[in-house]
Amino acid sequence: MARHLVRRLAQSVVVVVGVVVVSFLVARAVPGDAAVSATGARASASELAAARERLGLDQPLLVQLGRYLGNLVTGDLGTSLHTRQPVASDLGNALPASLELVGAAMLLAVLIGIPLGVLAARWRPGPVDVTVRVGSVLAVSAPVFLLALVLQLVFATRLGWFPTAGEYARSLDSSSPLTVWTDITAVDALITGNWPMLGSVLHHLALPALALAAYPTGVIAQMTRAALVEEGAQDHARMERALGFGRMAVLVRFSLRAASAPVLQLVALVFAYALVNSFLVESVFNWPGLGSYTATAISSVDTPAIAGVTLTVALVYVVLNLAVDLAQTALDPRVRLT
């Protein structure tokens, strides 16, 4: 187990270093001049030259990369050209809200997708199986921003069942102020027993989380069904049925654990995908996360912020993938041998 952990950690470090290099190069390749973003469009030639020297843009690309890597070792992601604040500080303020949204969406996806996959595998072929498969395809195919707009239009604007934007009712800042522990509003409200705040957050979270959960739900349902069908054809499943266990009991009690490895790996993949998709959902519902920060960084050619967001998403993916890999190893020791 220890050797497997060391090997996976080494692979993760290589991936992170590769992402750092690529994100740095992509940020430098974004059309526009970072010096102009730092000084303004009306800056003189001497001011632009001074800004390029201050930002290190007058140095060769390899020198800039080396300086960037050296700063990263100390936790310095640079200073945003737009907010004039450290990028690490900006990300620390924006990331918790995005993780809150993505976490809620993934919780919905797992709670809905896995049972749907089990039902489809149990009653295949048949109307239930066909319904789940068609619904999964529709969920995967629907553009997330279009689904977000439809949900907002129908359930917020027309019916008025949910708020149209924001993370919670701002009036609660005075009537039920929140004690911050984790910077994730729903978690802090739950920890401190701030029920009015928790209710408001969940009310605001429902529509954006549902829109973001559509794609992961469809993918997880399809993968769960496929993995259970494959496990159901194994010798152990036939023996369990011969011992008198029903098809549903075999699927839930025996096959589901064996099929959990690919499903867990898929959850890590779609979490990272959902984190990127959340930028679109946040723009529709005015959710205070990474979405607006990233859009502003791109439009203002804020290269430190662009690189910081890219690195953050990559780190989230690597950490989740490592955690899922360790969970797979605990559930199925055969993974260590592969």
* Same domain (yes/no): 67, 164: no
Q: What band does 145 get if pLDDT is binned at 50, 70 and 90?
A: confident
User: If you write DSSP's letter for every residue of 156-220 in order, what string do you get?
Assistant: IIIS-SS-SSSSS-TTHHHHSPPPPSSS-HHHHHHHHT-HHHHHHHHHHHHHHHHHHHHHHHHHH
* Same domain (yes/no): 169, 313: yes
Question: pTM to 2 decimals?
Answer: 0.78
Taking the C-alpha atoms of residue 136 and residue 7, their distance in angstroms, rounded to an integer, is: 36
Answer yes or no: is 78 within a domain: no
Alpha helix (H) residue ranges in 234-301: 235-242, 247-249, 256-258, 260-285, 290-299
Whole domain around residue 37: which residue ranges? 20-73
Taking the C-alpha atoms of residue 95 and residue 278, their distance in angstroms, rounded to an integer, is: 11
Answer yes or no: is 325 within a domain: yes
Answer yes or no: is 221 within a domain: yes
Answer yes or no: is 11 within a domain: no
Q: What is the pLDDT of residue 321?
A: 74
Helices and strands (H, E) in the chain, number of each type: 16, 0
Phi-psi region of 136 (alpha: psi -120 to 50; beta: other; left: phi over 0): alpha
* Most confident of the following: 87-91, 208-212, 237-241, 287-291: 208-212
Tens of pLDDT, residue by residue over 55-75, are: 666 677 777 778 778 877 787
**Mean pLDDT within 94-112:** 90
Tens of pLDDT, residue by residue over 14-25, are: 877 887 787 777
* Same domain (yes/no): 276, 249: yes
- Do the Cβ atoms of 188 and 170 come closer than 8 Å? no
* Same domain (yes/no): 99, 152: yes
**Mean pLDDT within 211-220:** 90
